[in-house]
Chains A and B, each alone.
Chain A
């Protein structure tokens, strides 16, 4: 039984629980009045809604007469709905009989159709007779109109919640590439996706998760590119989630990931719209939650954590070089301190003699063994990092100066640590900052500590043992069935063009094979042939000159007036 099956079983049990202990469900309304329906009696409806929501200070109720004839009431949460819109598009046409309706008499039974079809100037209006639906619409910022004698209420979506502007995501800055990021509102995020993918294949399935928050979750994918089984699996895993609140997409991540105990993230998150779209195009599924500016991308392989969207905008040679640097940074952040400890404590004969003398000179007078020194420095570095992260920017700068001074220069002159240790720790810290994905860098930061301890116990042998255990763990990880280290292991030559090096875009003709897309052609078949044609150098000075030879005016001849005589020099 895999972990996933186990957790499924467990959450399956959890899901059954509310049926037995019904009082535990916090949303009392749906439990008590789940199937209550509206009657034609206006006063009864008002009394009921008031009993339910009237205690709230921001709840608004306004009586009026539709077309001056039918008594009605309008409910809304004043701060959540757009008052100007309610006034002009709902109240005005309802109270002031529109021109095309003047003089016509209606029966109360026709009124619903008249209001919905002929009166309201609003796109999102509907009618329902279930209180559950009406109350939900109200709670999401809608405006509800109940007319005396009408057995259905009219609901208009007038939601207006303040949102911040779309700006560049702070966590994933790029030098070259689009600058827009997701924001908290799901609607806006979906519009950003649709804006980049104007195709009928973009499917957005929505569901509601969270007993209290009832957060809207959107599962986005490109039909025909994504494997259908993957979409099914994502929906299955999401549908078993039963929790009171989903405040961020990270909540979902922890429910749908394959291995909960692994330090490595098996689901990628991004704030960038272009990254989400690029992943949709590769055949992945993107999950968005209302209220979170992050999107989840599944399935994820280790490669994605040191790649950025910029890599595809820049030219491929430069990018391959930069990716190598990032991999080096990853390696630094994981193994430098443990290698240092192992070599100093066990195998100083490995390093060149002159350097070994310098190192031991630097270490003279340090009271601690190298492992204590390194662990101490690492710990203080972690504290410093956490401290600067939480502080406001103005103080943060001052703190980092103090921190750097204390951890760096002062500690050395105090005879507390050796200079070479400071260099090692600095390399490690810089290395972990150079990793594009924060959560992957975090995993390596964490694994550094057991490696240092192993190094202190068994030297290089211990480091190797630790690395083998980490590698074996990585090799056994799966994200939605995709081996975590693919496309390197198991190897796939086409997909390997986008790992450490990035091949030119025109040579990456297939979508990643590990995602099993039904449609894997990315680049048209004839593009290569066209590219191989000799280019037309339209502005080649020789050609331009030849072409315009007859028109002498204003154009220099192709030999620039040089008659070819040897006396020109």
Chain B
């Protein structure tokens, strides 16, 4: 009757959803519209499907090696030195991802709410929050995501529902976009798929799951719900503003919140409140990637505990976050780094999986010597 208290399928799905939904939702309709025009929702859907393929691959790997994270089993599969390169790239990429997310949200905050606060302060506050919380164990990691899930999903659903009264269906036509060019479409799909790649933390979650065989179901629901919210956000933004107007907005989702108001006039405007609640969504994303970075590092250096690393990488992340000169450059970097990141988060696991299948490598399902403890 008693299970070891570990991560359940619901918690795993919650981790995926709250990791994927983050600061990326704010510029999401812009990314989609820039390359897909009125075909933005379709583009987002395709991006989601590519992201799901990525999740499918790492879940397959996770089920194949149910007691190890990717850092360890890639070494077993590819050989120590080959995997070493991949793992360094993974750790570096996630550090970069964390830094950029903190920077992006810092920009949002100083642009729309705290206009006189220096950017450095908002960035460091977010990073500090993630750093402090990363000192917890894996179980608490899952609890935190589980707890915040309603706080993340509810406001965005509310905003979407309220904005529908301003939406016009004609803005969404034609569904495939005006004169779509395959290169643009392809680039857009990849950019959108890159917004999902926080989900790579799943490689760290599966070994801690109570039943790794349920990882596939949890993975599907996680990406399905997060992807569904992504598509709905794009539909709502394009439906309200139209493709041409969306193209001119930096954070269309935030504008969407500005354009809606609660019935009964309780709050005059929603954007500041929305942004305040959105801190949670950004926090969970940052927390996931931050945690993944130090967790992967601790596995990489064969440390028993990741807690010490939490404050250690903070200054490096802060320095990384300060690299882009301004918002425009930051979004260029995010788009390029994101697309290149797909090589790490989708192609690299695919190679590992293929090699594992060819070499018939398989992790032991039981509590072997190399078992990673969840707590």
Contact = CB atoms under 8 A, between A and B. Distances in A.
Instruction: Specify whether A and B are partners.
Output: yes
Interface of A: 346-347, 349-353, 356, 458-461, 463-465, 468-469, 471-472, 475-476, 483, 485, 488-491, 516
Interface stretch (B60-68, B79-87, B141-149, B330-338): B141-149
Contact of A346 (B11, B113, B280, B283): B113
Contact of A475 (B2, B147, B272): B147
Contacts of A488: 147
Contact of A485 (B125, B143, B267, B283): B143
A515 to B, nearest CB: 12
Interface centre among A351, A463, A475 (most CB of B within 10 A): A475
Interface centre among A350, A352, A461 (most CB of B within 10 A): A461
Nearest to B265: A352
A352 B132 contact: no
Given A346-B114, A461-B279, A464-B279, A472 B272 contact: no
Interface centre among B114, B147, B276, B280 (most CB of A within 10 A): B276
B125 A489 contact: no
A516 B267 CA distance: 45
26 contacts: A349-B272, A350-B268, A350-B272, A351-B267, A352-B266, A356-B268, A459-B113, A459-B272, A460-B275, A460-B276, A461-B122, A463-B276, A464-B276, A465-B125, A465-B129, A468-B280, A468-B283, A469-B129, A475-B140, A476-B140, A483-B139, A485-B143, A485-B147, A488-B147, A489-B143, A489-B146
Interface size class of B (residues with CB under 8 A): 35 or more
Contacts of B283: 468
Interface of B: 2, 5, 8, 10-11, 109, 113-114, 117, 122, 125, 129, 132-133, 136, 139-140, 142-144, 146-148, 265-269, 272-273, 275-277, 279-280, 283
Nearest to A472: B133
Contacts, number: 87
Contacts of B142: 490
Contacts of B143: 475-476, 483, 485, 489-490
A375 to B, nearest CB: 21
A357 to B, nearest CB: 12
A351 B136 contact: no
Contacts of A471: 144, 147-148
B136 A476 contact: yes
Nearest to A520: B1
Contacts of B148: 471
Contacts of A516: 2
Contacts of B117: 458
Contacts of A465: 125, 129, 279
Contacts of B8: 490
A13 to B, nearest CB: 23
A463 B146 CA distance: 21
Contacts of B11: 490
Interface centre among B136, B266, B268 (most CB of A within 10 A): B268
Contacts of A461: 109, 113-114, 122, 275-276, 279
Contacts of A468: 129, 279-280, 283
Given A460-B273, A475-B140, A490-B146, 7 more contacts: A352-B267, A458-B122, A460-B276, A471-B147, A483-B143, A488-B147, A489-B146
A463 B275 CA distance: 12
Contact of B267 (A350, A476, A489): A350
Contacts of B268: 349-353, 356
Nearest to B264: A352
Given A461-B109, A465-B129, A468-B283, A350 B140 contact: no
A93 to B, nearest CB: 58
Contacts of A464: 276-277, 279-280
Nearest to A484: B143
